Amino acid sequence: MRAQRRSALVLGGLALALLALLVLFLSVPLYLAWLSALTAATFVAYWYDKQQAQRGGRRTPEITLHLLALAGGFIGGWAGRAVFRHKTRKPAFTLVLVVATVLHLAIAYLLYGAR
């Protein structure tokens, strides 16, 4: 199995396990659990990509990091950039994270604030 596919499966498994834990055992609302699970997975993806960059290994495709952020892992993207100082010089990452943040703030408002 290719390393990238394996890392994607590990990240997906991590996100699903955390999602299940938060929803089933801690009764966290589904959308907040989704954001939390994807935040953790995205943060790990940034960490892994930074490690691979330093070692000269196989990198996580940029589209994967973008899709994770857009799917709900934008907090992990912001945190990964800040903690690991990774992808900070790429304007596309800033743009995607801003769009993802605004998108998910709007969704959260529609779900929880428009009452």
The pLDDT tens digits for 3-15 are 667 777 888 888 9
Confidence of residue 58 (pLDDT cuts 50, 70, 90): confident
List Cα–Cα distances, 49 to 64, 74, 107, in angstroms: 11, 16, 29
Please write the tens of the pLDDT for every residue from 90-109: 999 999 999 999 999 999 99
How would you write 59-98 as a 3-class SS string? CCCHHHHHHHHHHHHHHHHHHHHHHHCCCCCCHHHHHHHH
8 Å CB contact between 74 and 45: no
Structural domain boundaries, residue 33: 3-113
How many domains, the chain? 1
